[in-house]
Amino acid sequence: MIRETSVRLRHVEEARIDADAEQVVAFTCPGDRLDPASARMLERLGVAPGELEASGLLPARVHQVATGPLLGAGRPRRVVLVGLDPEAGAVAAVRDAATIAGRHAEGDGPIAVALPTLAARRPGATEALVEGLILGRHRFDRYRSGVAPRPSALDLLVAADVAEDALIAEARRGAIVADAANWARDLATTAPADKTPEVLAEELRAVVAAAGGSVRIWSERELEAAGFRGVLAVASGSPARPAMVEIELRGDASRDAHVALAGKGVTFDSGGLDLKAVESMYTMKHDMGGAAAVAAAVYAAGRLALPVNLHVALPLVENMPSGTALRPGDVIEHWNGMTSEVVSPDAEGRLILADAISYLTTRAPRSLLAVSTLTGTTAVGADLWGVFSDAHDLAGDLVEAGRRAGEPGWALPLWRPYRSYLDSAVADLRNTGERLTYSVAGIVASLFLAEFVPPSLPWAHIDIAATVARTRLTANAAWPAGATGSPARALVRWLEATGAAA
Q: Report pLDDT for 337.
A: 98
Active site residue 276: yes
> Rounded distance, CA 189 to CA 168, Å?
31
Amino acid of residue 494: W
Mean pLDDT to the nearest integer, 195-224:
98
Q: Which residue among the candidates 40, 75, 77, 276 is catalytic per the annotation?
A: 276
Phi-psi region of 212 (alpha: psi -120 to 50; beta: other; left: phi over 0): left
Find out whether 17 and 166 touch, Cβ atoms under 8 Å: no
pLDDT top residue among 267 and 1: 267
> Rounded distance, CA 274 to CA 38, Å?
56
Q: What is the model's pTM? A: 0.96
Residue 19 clears pLDDT 70, i.e. is over it? no
SS3 content of the chain, % helix, strand, coil (to 5): 40, 20, 40
Q: Report pLDDT for 495.
A: 98
Active site residue 350: yes
> Rounded distance, CA 33 to CA 176, Å?
33
Residue 288 clears pLDDT 90, i.e. is over it? yes
> Rounded distance, CA 451 to CA 448, Å?
6
Q: Report pLDDT for 161.
A: 58
β-pairing verdict for 409-412 and 259-263: unpaired
Nearest CA to 52 out of 35, 107, 16 is that of 35
Per-residue pLDDT reduced to its tens digit, 77-101: 889 999 999 899 999 999 999 999 9
The beta strands (E) that lie in 153-277 are given as 153-159, 214-218, 243-250, 259-263, 265-269
Per-residue pLDDT reduced to its tens digit, 150-165: 768 888 888 865 557 7
Any idea which of 191-200, 251-260, 293-302 has the lowest mean pLDDT? Answer: 251-260
Mean pLDDT to the nearest integer, 55-83:
83
430 bridge partner residues:
341
> Rounded distance, CA 262 to CA 311, Å?
9
Mean pLDDT to the nearest integer, 412-430:
96
Q: Which residue among the candidates 137, 173, 264, 350 is catalytic per the annotation?
A: 350
Residue 240 clears pLDDT 90, i.e. is over it? yes
Q: What residue spans of 211-266 are helical by DSSP H?
A: 220-226, 229-235
Residue 417 clears pLDDT 80, i.e. is over it? yes
Nearest CA to 349 out of 404, 289, 281, 260 is that of 289
Nearest CA to 446 out of 464, 430, 461, 456 is that of 461
Q: Report pLDDT for 82.
A: 95
Write down the mean pLDDT value for the chain. Answer: 92
Task: Tell me the percentage of the chain whose pLDDT exceeds 90.
Answer: 72
> Rounded distance, CA 233 to CA 29, Å?
56
Per-residue pLDDT reduced to its tens digit, 328-348: 999 999 999 999 999 999 999
pLDDT top residue among 73 and 251: 251
Q: Report pLDDT for 182.
A: 98
Cα–chain center distance at 36? 33
Q: Report pLDDT for 201.
A: 98
Residue 324 clears pLDDT 80, i.e. is over it? yes
Residue 107 clears pLDDT 90, i.e. is over it? no
pLDDT top residue among 65 and 46: 65
Q: Report pLDDT for 129.
A: 96
Provide the pLDDT confidence category of residue 16 given band limits of 50, 70 and 90.
Answer: low
Provide the pLDDT confidence category of residue 57 given band limits of 50, 70 and 90.
Answer: confident
Mean pLDDT to the nearest integer, 194-198:
98
Q: Report pLDDT for 446.
A: 97
Mean pLDDT to the nearest integer, 27-37:
88
Q: DSSP labels for 320-345?
A: --STTS--TT-EEE-TTS-EEE-S-T
Per-residue pLDDT reduced to its tens digit, 348-386: 999 999 999 999 999 999 999 999 999 877 778 889 999
All structural domains of the chain: 6-157 (3.40.220.10), 186-501 (3.40.630.10)
Question: What string of H, E and C letters represents the secondary structure of 361-399?
Answer: HHHCCCEEEEEECCCCCCCCCCCCEEEECCCHHHHHHHH
